[in-house]
Amino acid sequence: MRPTRITVEPVARLIDELGRLPGVGPKSASRMAYFLLRAPREQALALAEAVIEVKDRIVLCSRCFNITELNPCAVCQDTTRDQSLICVVEEPLDVLALDRTGEYRGLYHVLHGAISPVDGIGTDKLRIRELVERVERERPTEVILATNPNIEGDATAMYIARQLAATGVTISRPASGLPVGGDLEYADEITLGRALAGRRAL
């Protein structure tokens, strides 16, 4: 005799959706789903509303492609920042990490990832074409390639350097000293600040 299959569709769907989040395995997804099932209605709705608000209110800045509620974003609108410097990063979180160092007061350009053939991320999925156009248009004096110090980040930096070569802009990469293979966003402020201050031309 086959056991009866008990599936409660809405719960299965929630587990399914939570399981798609990065770092969440099937076990954690089930635990979260049953937590939400038992949680007060207001708490569960607050989570749902926060998700909707992020999708409805957050856009990408048309100049630097960072996430923002206002376009252009606050960084791009800040005229006290050095307009001749563009720091290229992989993710919006990297902008926060670099700004926290207090070592950098220029502008940013967010790629939204790094070249990674195994994950199917080619150059067309990143904001590289937009960066080249921006450099040609804005003519900064220096572009700092602050992609992560790992294989994907290095490959991305090398590719961008080649794309920008014809523009004649100075291209630099933060100094070594960052944890190799690590993510920029996890580096401490002092290490990150030093790496940025000691950057070298490519």
Which residue among 29, 33, 61, 145 contacts Zn ion (CB under 5 A)? 61
Tokens of 67: 């996430």
| Alpha-carbon distances, residue 26 vs 15, 46, 101, 176 (angstroms) | 7, 23, 37, 38
Q: Establish if 63 lies at the interface with Zn ion (CB under 5 A).
A: yes
As measured in angstroms, the least distance from the Cβ of 85 to Zn ion is 14
Closer CB to Zn ion, 56 or 69, in the complex: 69
Return the range that interacts with Zn ion (CB under 5 A); candidates 2-10, 63-71, 111-119, 120-128: 63-71
All residues at 6 or more sequence positions from 87 whose CB lies less than 8 Å from its CB, including other chains: 98, 104, 106, 107, 108, 109, 143, 144, 146, 196
Q: How far apart are the first and last CA of the chain?
A: 69
Return the range that interacts with Zn ion (CB under 5 A); candidates 2-10, 74-82, 137-145, 191-199: 74-82
As measured in angstroms, the least distance from the Cβ of 66 to Zn ion is 5
**According to CB under 5 A, which residues from 127 to 166 bind Zn ion?**
none
The three-state (H, E, C) secondary structure of 78-126, written as one string: CCCCEEEEEEEECCHHHHHHHHHCCCCCEEEEECCCCCEHHHCECHHHC
**What does the DSSP 8-state code read for residue 20?**
T
As measured in angstroms, the least distance from the Cβ of 113 to Zn ion is 18
- Widest distance between CA atoms in the chain: 75
As measured in angstroms, the least distance from the Cβ of 132 to Zn ion is 17
As measured in angstroms, the least distance from the Cβ of 76 to Zn ion is 3
Closer CB to Zn ion, 11 or 60, in the complex: 60
Tokens of 80: 């006290």
Q: Establish if 187 lies at the interface with Zn ion (CB under 5 A).
A: no
Q: Establish if 76 lies at the interface with Zn ion (CB under 5 A).
A: yes
Tokens of 133: 């156009």
Closer CB to Zn ion, 113 or 179, in the complex: 113
Tell me which residues touch Zn ion (CB under 5 A).
Answer: 61, 63-64, 72-73, 76
